[in-house]
Amino acid sequence: MAEVEESNTMWWVVGGCIAGIILLVVLLKKDETKHLQSGAVAQLQSETFSKIEKRHTSNNSTAEQISGK
């Protein structure tokens, strides 16, 4: 029986694909977390909560409004 020689080229291609995928994940993760460093999320949350609180307090009726005075 003749021995079949494995080609090392296939393993270089597989290794290159794995390295490329890891590099892509790292780059995308860095880009994904960029907005967290700018503080935009915290500012947006504070604006949102202040609007919710304002809406909540404007919807509450006072005792004088309920009695019709």
Phi, psi dihedrals of residue 10, rounded to the nearest 5°? -60, -40
Place of tokens 């029986």: 1
Query: Is pLDDT above 60 for 1?
Result: no
1 DSSP 8-state letter: -
CA distance linking residue 9 with residue 14, whole number of Å: 9
DSSP 51: H
Confidence of residue 66 (pLDDT cuts 50, 70, 90): low
Do residues 19 and 12 lie in contact, with contact meaning Cβ atoms separated by under 8 Å? no
Task: Give the pLDDT confidence of 7-63 residue by residue, as tens digits.
Answer: 788 889 999 999 999 999 999 888 777 766 667 777 888 899 888 888 777 666 666
